[in-house]
Amino acid sequence: MTEILFFFEVVLAGMLAGTMYSLVALGFVLIYKASATFNFAQGAMVFFAVLSFVGFMELGLPFALAFVVTVFLMIAVGYATERLVLEPLMSQSEDTMLMATIGLAFVLQGLAQAVWGVEVRRLDLGIGDFPIPWVAENLGLFVSALDVAAGVVAAVLIVILALLFRFTKMGLGLRAVADDPGAAASIGIPLKTIMLMVWSAAGIVALVAGMLWGARAGVQFALVDLALKALPVLIIGGFSSIPGAIVGGLIIGVVEKTLEVYVGPFFGGGIEGWAPYVLAIFFLLWRPEGLFGEKIIRRV
């Protein structure tokens, strides 16, 4: 009985950790949907956002103000990226865009460290990373409060974004742009405004993801490597699908946790470092467009 309970705990912890990957992946999907650009810099944006947030708090800003200031900062980053990187490379190949966003990632993570320094910061969101006592006592399950909070925040963000996509004028425009930027522009959809909105949304998602990650693991450079795991999440879920990002994140979270707990001890641990990527390879061989992505038909 306790073994089954323990297994549930592992799976639950995996799912909740997975939602954090989902959050990073979400920012990725937003930008991919609007511009068909693989934004490698999403992970660096997570780090940049949360480090700036902590930095502003260190300067004496209260929590809420620091949050708002960082949101504006991320919008500025989005605007600069749009103007300085994406626009000049508009007609270039996908691979070129991807390489450019790798460059952008280095600019952002370097900039954040140059301005705020490299030491590890603690971030206290007022939610502890320890088992919720009530659940532990009554159900015998040890579930971290922070994990649950992360799960709730992720769920709320996803619902808001999905609603925005479905029901607002911006969402409609965005879907049109994703379909055919040229045609969308010709019927008067303001391409640049939409891009700015999307990059800003991705920036805010990055900030939230960074705060949750930072509260757990400390605000430090290692976040960039953690965020890299959003890539296998995207391959599993599909680059253009919000539900895909969620499910992909959950799958990665659960698989890496269970592997680590049940198989890891035989190899001295550390399986989580590569398991998501190898899992992604199997998905690539089996279903390259991801679980929720549209099937790609190459026409000649």
Partner 1 sequence: MHDKPLFMTYSRGDVANFVVLMALAFAVVPLMIETDYWYSSILIPWLCLALAAIGQQFVMGYAGQLALGAAGFMAAGAFACYNIELRIPWMPFPLSLLFSGLIAAAFGVLFGLPSLRVRGIYLMVATLASQFFIIWMIDKFGWFKNYDSSGIITAQDIVIAGRSFTSPMEMYLVVAVVVTVLTILAVNMTRGSVGRNWMAVRDMDIAAESMGISLLRAKLQAFALSAFYCGVAGALFAFTYLKSLEPVAFDIKLSFQILFMVILGGLGTINGAFIGAGFILLFPVVLNTVGNAWFHGMIDATIISAIEQVVFGALIIVFLIYEPLGIAKLWENLKSRLFSRRPVAEAAAAKQEPAG
Partner 2 sequence: MTQARNFPIGGPILEVENISLSFGGVKAITDTSFKVLMHEIRAIIGPNGAGKSSLLNCINGIYKPQQGRISFKGEVLDRISPNIVARKGISRTFQNLALFKRMSVIDNILVGRRLHMGANFLQIAFQTPAATREERENRERCEEIVEFLEIESIRDTPVGKLPYGLQKKVELGRALATEADMLLLDEPMAGMNVEEKREMCRFILKVNDELGTTMVLIEHDMGVVMDISDNVVVLDYGKIIADGPPEAVRTNQDVIDAYLGVAHD
Provide the binding-site residues for partner 1, judged by CB under 8 A.
Answer: 38, 40, 84-85, 88-89, 92, 94-96, 98-100, 102-114, 117-118, 225, 228, 231-232, 235, 239, 267-271, 273-274, 277-278, 280-281, 284-285, 288, 300
CB of 268 to partner 1, least distance (A): 5
d(CA 32, CA 196): 13
Q: Which does residue 168 touch among partner 2, partner 1, none (CB within 5 to 8 A, set by kind)? A: none
With beta carbons less than 8 A apart as the criterion, state whether 14 and 79 touch.
Answer: no
Which one of partner 2, partner 1, none interacts with residue 187, CB within 5 to 8 A by kind? none
In this complex, which beta carbon is closest to partner 1, that of residue 128 or of residue 273? Answer: 273
Residue 219 backbone phi and psi in degrees, to 5: -85, 105
Partner interacting with residue 107 (select from partner 1, partner 2, none; CB below 5-8 Å by kind): partner 1
What is the smallest separation between the CB atom of 207 and partner 1, expressed in angstroms? 20
Spatial separation of the C-alpha atoms in residues 189 and 3, rounded to whole Å = 57
Residue 1 binds to partner 2 (criterion: CB under 8 A)? no
List binders of partner 2 among 241-300 (CB under 8 A): 295, 297, 299-300
The span from the CA of 253 to the CA of 251, in Å, is: 5
The partner in contact with residue 126, picked from partner 2, partner 1, none with C-beta cut-offs of 5 to 8 angstroms by kind, is none
CA–CA gap between residue 263 and residue 224 (Å, rounded): 26
What is the distance between the alpha carbons of residues 44 and 16, in angstroms, rounded to a whole number?
A: 22
- With CB under 8 A, what is the number of residues at the site for partner 2? 4
Displacement of CA 245 from its chain's centroid (Å): 9
* 3-state DSSP assignment of residue 121: strand
Q: How far is the CB of 299 from partner 1 (least distance, A)?
A: 11
CA distance 83 to 199: 11
Residue owning tokens 């969620």:
246
User: Shortest distance, CB of residue 98 to partner 1, whole angstroms?
Assistant: 6
CB atoms within 10 A of CB 259: 18
Shortest CB 97 distance to partner 2, Å: 18
Question: With respect to partner 2, which residue has the nearer C-beta, 93 or 186?
Answer: 93
Least separation, in Å, of the C-beta of 228 and partner 1?
7
Question: 297 touches which of partner 1, partner 2, none (CB within 5 to 8 A by kind)?
Answer: partner 2
Q: CB within 8 A of 176, min separation 6: which ones?
A: 183, 184, 187, 189
HSE-CB at 75 with a 13 A cutoff on CA atoms is 9
Binding site residues, partner 2, CB under 8 A: 295, 297, 299-300
